[in-house]
Amino acid sequence: MLKALVFDDEYIVLEGLRRMIDWEAFGIELAGMAGDGPAALELFLRVRPQLVLTDINMPGMDGLQLIRSILDVAPDTYCIVFSGYNEYEYVKRAIQIGVSDYLEKPLEVENIEEALKKAIGQIQKRNETQAIKQSYEESRNVLFEKITLELILGKTQALPKWKDQLGLHADSIAGLTVLACSEEITLDNRPDCHFVSIRNGEEHLVLLLHRILPTQELWEEIDQEAEKRSLTVGSGRTKADPHQLADSYQEARRALRCARFLHQLGRVGFEDLGELITSPEPLSEREEAIILCLRAGNYSGLMEHLQPFMDWIQSELVAPEVVEREMVKLLYLALEAVKESPSSSRNEPFAPHIEIRNIHGRDQMLAWFRGQFERIVHSALELRENTKYSAVEQAQLYIENNLSQDLSLQEVARHVGMNPSYLSVLFKEVTGETYIKFLTRFRMELAKKWLLEGMKVSEVSEKVGYLTYRHFSEVFKKHTGLSPGQFKDRVGPTER
């Protein structure tokens, strides 16, 4: 049922319209009346009807001003005005601001009913048009998502259809990135990036259509949104060629898997995983788990992943040379993972490929393998414990000294001398918060301090490392509840 409001400063007109018109017979609920402009606008904002009938001459705010305010808020509202002013100028002004119909006083029931029929017809026609348009847009979006998924899954024959769906926008795309998310995430489109959410079975994917190559600001925004929702997001590398979307998808999945293994929240890029995992030669799940367990300092988890390997050797008739090859490969992989920590070194020479040749018998070989792995792991855990605080302190000092620069996790990890994924794990372990949370909080605390000291907002924005005022203002408001300008006005005088 449609809702209608009636506004007039004459009580007899309001009562006459209430009693003389059978509103329900028209399928309309008369949801309220008002006798002056301000009260009418307040009632409209509360009820939000589809239909408004108002007098032009009212106290406080005339009908034309009222209609202008209403249409600014709800441009689809059907407005009928009536007045005793039988002048062309009022009709002209009413039409110019978007009034749908005009009735002269004294009002007659027949004319009002005719106007209501016309209004209902127009509203229904508009609703039908909007429904068709919405249905078309939804069908188009579903088709685009389906074609995009085909492209992500490596079906490059879908590319012509995909470009056709994009139309003129296809030529403005500077790059494409796939995100794989632990749960569904909603991201608002930006001037530099459009987001397309896609489901692939149980997978939650997002395709980023970059109008310019991705900035640190974009990654931070995604990171913060994911952390706020306690989600993990793996991102593949940005590709210029749509034919490479399948590669970005596989990288995103791998980044997500590694991040979830390490219980990381926020965004983890494929490039953050380190050379051991991102090398062209693919690792098995067991090999990947060994690296991640060493990064996390998870000894029990590591031995849990090794146990099926040792059970396989114990229960199956496996050729000795195969056993030797696989054991040596895993030991050297563990050694490489230990080297990810800064200051790592082994005091004694270690050559498992030579030692293993002097061992005969399956049980002896398994006992030797387990012992060697335990030595490596305990050495790694000791090194990890001894260096993690100094590594995080180095990272924090670098942040403090380079606050106005690009402070991506990759850049800070490069300074400390470890891969970003490992530093991210240590950062959370030592500080109790993720890298991006620490960085944002540190920036905002300094921003508040400098704003209270009288610095201009633009100066503070640049000094704490934000390339655009818009991004700085958005982050500041999320952090404090106030825009930078409001913070200076409201908080400054009381704290100085």
How sure is the predictor about 375, in pLDDT bands with cuts at 50, 70 and 90?
confident
Residue 130 lies in a domain: no
Co-location of 307 and 393 in the same domain: no
Co-location of 317 and 265 in the same domain: no
**Residue numbers of the domain that contains 319:** 285-379
* pLDDT tens digit sequence for 236-277: 999 999 999 999 999 999 999 888 888 888 899 998 887 777
Residue 415: Cβ within 10 Å count: 16
Question: What does pLDDT average to over the chain?
Answer: 85
pLDDT of 62 above 90: no
pLDDT (0 to 100) of residue 363: 86
Residue with tokens 């794990």: 425
Query: What total number of domains does the chain contain?
Result: 4
Co-location of 244 and 176 in the same domain: yes
Residue 150 lies in a domain: no
Co-location of 263 and 306 in the same domain: no
pLDDT of 86 above 70: no
pLDDT of 75 above 50: yes
The count of C-alpha atoms lying within 13 angstroms of the C-alpha of 245, restricted to the half-sphere facing its C-beta, is 25
How sure is the predictor about 495, in pLDDT bands with cuts at 50, 70 and 90?
very low
pLDDT (0 to 100) of residue 178: 96
Q: What proportion of the chain, given as a percentage, has pLDDT over 70?
A: 93
Residue with tokens 């490969």: 329
Co-location of 93 and 168 in the same domain: no
* Residue 98, both tokens: 């978007």
Q: Are 463 and 450 in contact (CB under 8 A)?
A: yes
pLDDT (0 to 100) of residue 494: 45
Q: How far apart are CA 487 and CA 448, in angstroms?
A: 8
Q: Which of 328, 355, 379 is the last residue of a domain?
A: 379
* Residue 5, both tokens: 């409001």
Report the CATH number at residue 47.
3.40.50.2300
Co-location of 417 and 466 in the same domain: yes
Residue 27 lies in a domain: yes
Co-location of 167 and 267 in the same domain: yes
Question: Could you please report the per-residue DSSP string of 206-243?
Answer: EEEEESSPPPHHHHHHHHHHHHHTT-EEEE---BSSGG
Instruction: Kindly state the average pLDDT of the residues 313-319.
Output: 78
pLDDT of 304 above 90: no
Range with the poorest average pLDDT among 39-48, 101-110, 149-158:
101-110
pLDDT of 126 above 50: yes
Residue 413 lies in a domain: yes
Q: What proportion of the chain, given as a percentage, has pLDDT over 90?
A: 29
Residue 384 lies in a domain: no
Residue 280 lies in a domain: no
Q: Are 421 and 268 in contact (CB under 8 A)?
A: yes
pLDDT of 6 above 90: yes
* pLDDT tens digit sequence for 183-234: 999 888 888 899 999 999 899 999 999 999 998 888 988 988 898 889 999 9
Residue 175 lies in a domain: yes
Q: What residue ranges in 356-444 does DSSP mark as E strands?
A: none
Co-location of 370 and 401 in the same domain: no
Q: Which of 213, 239, 273 is the last residue of a domain?
A: 273
* pLDDT tens digit sequence for 425-474: 888 889 988 888 899 999 999 999 999 888 888 899 989 988 788 888 88
Co-location of 393 and 375 in the same domain: no
pLDDT of 5 above 90: yes
Instruction: Kindly state the average pLDDT of the residues 388-397.
Output: 90
Q: Are 84 and 113 in contact (CB under 8 A)?
A: no
Co-location of 258 and 192 in the same domain: yes
Co-location of 233 and 339 in the same domain: no
Cis amide bond preceding 320, omega within 30 = no
Residue with tokens 């909080």: 441
Co-location of 325 and 259 in the same domain: no
Q: Which of 273, 301, 319 is the last residue of a domain?
A: 273
Phi, psi of 345 (to 5 degrees): -165, 155
Residue 131 lies in a domain: no
